[in-house]
A and B are shown apart, each in its own frame.
Chain A
Amino acid sequence: MNGQRRPLLEVRNLEKHYVLNEGGLFRKKTVLRAVDGISFSVFPGETLGLVGESGCGKTTAGKCILRLIEPTAGSMEMEGEDITRASFARMREVRKKIQFIFQDPYSSLNPRMTVGQIVGEPFAIHGICSGVERRKRIERLVDRVGLSAESCGRYPHEFSGGQRQRIGIARALALNPKLVVCDEPVSALDVSIQSQVLNLMMELQRELGMAYLFISHGLAAVKHISKRVGVMYLGKIVELAETEALFSSPLHPYTEALLSAIPVPDPEIARERIILEGDVPSPVHPPSGCRFHNRCRYAMPVCRETEPEWKDAGGGHFVACHLR
């Protein structure tokens, strides 16, 4: 299936380490492994979901792909072009193809710009179309995300969270990108508004054919929108598979626990919940071997010592666990 097609984006061994300067006598340098060697591909027109708990490195990974922050190792290829060390000028061009939607619909829009200016900003930055033509295109975009044309003259604070997220989506779509990296695009919204935005994103994808990298801690939303899903834990992807396979037969013990932890909105269903002990360890001192070993109910001696390999368990279901 996917094997035949060329990936749109290919990420290999991506790493982002932060060097923290702790004070004190010896000025000990510690390294925070925000993203610690992750690999995945995004195919044209598909949605790849990236889930994990707070601090596991989702946002960092997303921002590295756009070079909004510089990765410390690894490589990224967009349509076969290595963009890991592309020049600033070249990245400007690449960003026409990759756009970003942020989590917070309140702070991600400039409060002093009108909606029309915000949505048309990519045209201005890249010197694409002007005058009546630009206005028409802006109005088309605004209309496409379900806002009225008169919204163009108004300011972000006059809109609700869901409407602001629509404005962000319109801006991201202005240049017909091939990939949109969406970092928690619905997490800050009310439940009834989340489904409006999710439906809109899926509709737009069917119509325009772009791919999404959909980053979220909300598993239900990720499941709904994604074709494939990767699960992150402490800077690593521990499992990646087709959505159905991942949710119906998770192979990694962390995925299994994560899925069982989500409360099901149906009081008739009684489930056994796997309660993980303790907290996620600090990315400054990740556990040796398998990073999940101190919380894993299947941990074996080998898990403490050797890091499990990232392998295909069959049918494109990737997992890193000694059990598999």
Chain B
Amino acid sequence: MKPLLEIENLVTTFDTEDGCVTALDGVSLSVGQGETVALVGESGCGKSVTSLSILRLVPSPPGKVEAGRILFEGEDLLAKSEPQMREIRGRDIAMIFQEPMTSLNPVFTCGSQLIEAIGQHQRLTAAQAKEKVLEMLRLVGIPLPDQRFDEYPHQMSGGMRQRVMIGMALCCAPKLLIADEPTTALDVTIQAQILDLLIKLKKKMGMAILLITHDMGVVAEMAERVVVMYAGKVIEEAPVRELFRAPAHPYTRGLLDSIPRLDVREDQLGTIPGNVPSLGSMPSGCRFHPRCPHACGLCAERVPELRETGGGRKVACWLGTPGMAVAGERSASR
């Protein structure tokens, strides 16, 4: 199957007071037709910059996509003109953000904003557009859509606004939906409503979803495949069951061990020592090496490339490679 979206070696930088920092350092990932892929990692690892890069929405300056390719249905988005991108955004690729309030304009009613969103890609009469919007509000489970149509964003709760955002994103039946932490700002019971809605809509409309989250629980419930990022790089990729059953990268393992579980009793949580490095002072070699329990000399010197290990899995780690096996034995016998 040919992937719908294919990102190769994406490099995105920002000009900051402390000089030029590399937020994405060679990110590669793909999303198949109708597939749900989760992009996970801790805050600042580059998840949002990845999604903004795909849509060519990285604020510039200070940001710049320096290198790489973003193939959507085989065509490089980085080579498109701004008017072409405007066509693609919303029609082919739609996005929903973490904080629905900031993406809805507070001075216009929700209905008028939805009509405008539809109008950008479809020629409809006013009556047709309104009917379409009401249909969409009904689809995303907004009670009393006729009444809500005339309300302003601040009159709605967070969960309601996120429904409107989802409605807006899906009104042109995009092939890919990028959802950047769509439930992080919401309470768990409202999160459950929104995730449930996304699952239902996906069944109905069949779009692919790139779901960005830092919540491993959300990943487990939603994704078919998982891409794990750490400090601007993809460090592991695997089908969801494989990832949870046997995480290959020490960071992924540490992350899974440090989550308190509701269904398991554990006396002591696992931890990852130290802190997430800042962009200005990235460790040499493997960026995880100062925090990694398996690090050896090689790790501090050379960057491990993302390599395929079979069964649709990829990992960027020296563990299990010929050079490291020797080093690993040495450190174990010490």
Contacts and interface: CB of A to CB of B under 8 A. Distances in A.
Interface in A192-214: 192-196, 198-199
A-B pairs, top 9 by smallest CB distance, nearest first, are A263-B217, A195-B258, A261-B192, A224-B260, A195-B269, A53-B187, A265-B216, A192-B272, A220-B260
B240 A267 contact: yes
B127 interface: no
Contacts of A261: 188-189, 191-192
B30 to A, nearest CB: 20
A180 B270 CA distance: 24
Contacts of A190: 42-43, 214, 276
Interface string B274-286: 0110000000000
B78 interface: no
B262 A223 contact: yes
Contacts of A224: 260, 266, 269
Nearest to B263: A264
B152 interface: no
Nearest to B266: A224
Interface stretch (A4-12, A113-121, A268-276): A268-276
A160 B275 contact: yes
A220 B271 contact: no
A217 B216 contact: no
Interface in B233-250: 240-241, 244-245
Interface of A: 53-54, 160, 162-163, 190-196, 198-199, 217, 219-221, 223-224, 247, 257-269, 273, 275-276, 278-280
Contact of B159 (A163, A219, A260, A279): A279
B187 A217 contact: yes
Given A219-B262, A223-B260, A265 B189 contact: no
B195 interface: yes
A206 B236 CA distance: 37
Given A273-B196, A275-B192, A267 B187 contact: no
Nearest to A247: B262
B190 interface: yes
Contact of B244 (A160, A196, A198, A268): A268
In this complex, the member of A193, A217, A269 whose beta carbon has the largest number of chain B beta carbons within 10 angstroms is: A193
Interface of B: 42-43, 143, 157, 159-160, 187-193, 195-196, 214-221, 240-241, 244-245, 254-256, 258-263, 266, 268-273, 275-276
A192 B244 CA distance: 16
A193 B189 CA distance: 25
28 contacts: A53-B189, A160-B275, A162-B275, A191-B258, A192-B42, A192-B255, A193-B275, A194-B258, A195-B260, A198-B269, A199-B268, A199-B269, A220-B261, A224-B260, A224-B266, A224-B269, A260-B192, A262-B188, A263-B195, A264-B220, A264-B263, A265-B244, A265-B261, A268-B241, A273-B196, A276-B193, A278-B143, A279-B157
B259 A265 contact: yes
Contacts of A263: 191, 195, 215, 217-218, 220-221
A299 to B, nearest CB: 16
B154 to A, nearest CB: 14
A224 B258 CA distance: 11
Given A54-B187, A160-B275, A279-B190, A265 B258 contact: no
Contacts of B143: 278
A223 B269 CA distance: 12
A279 B275 CA distance: 37
Given A191-B216, A261-B191, A275-B192, 8 more contacts: A160-B276, A162-B275, A191-B258, A191-B259, A223-B262, A260-B192, A276-B189, A279-B157
A195 B271 contact: yes
A215 B274 CA distance: 25
Contacts of B159: 279
B189 to A, nearest CB: 5
Contacts of A278: 143
A147 to B, nearest CB: 12
A163 B220 contact: no
B160 A220 contact: no
Contacts of A196: 258, 271-273
A221 to B, nearest CB: 5
A278 B276 CA distance: 38
A257 B193 CA distance: 12
Given A54-B187, A258-B188, A279-B190, A192 B218 contact: no
Contacts of B157: 279
B256 A265 contact: yes
Contacts of A160: 275-276
Nearest to A276: B189
B162 to A, nearest CB: 12
A77 B218 CA distance: 42
A193 B217 CA distance: 17
Contacts of A54: 187
Contacts of B214: 190-191
Nearest to B193: A275
Given A265-B216, A265-B261, A275-B196, A192 B271 contact: yes
A104 to B, nearest CB: 15
Contacts of A195: 258-260, 269-272
Contact of A265 (B188, B219, B272): B219
B241 A192 contact: no
Contact of B217 (A162, A217, A264, A279): A264
Nearest to A225: B260
Contacts of A163: 275
A273 B189 CA distance: 10
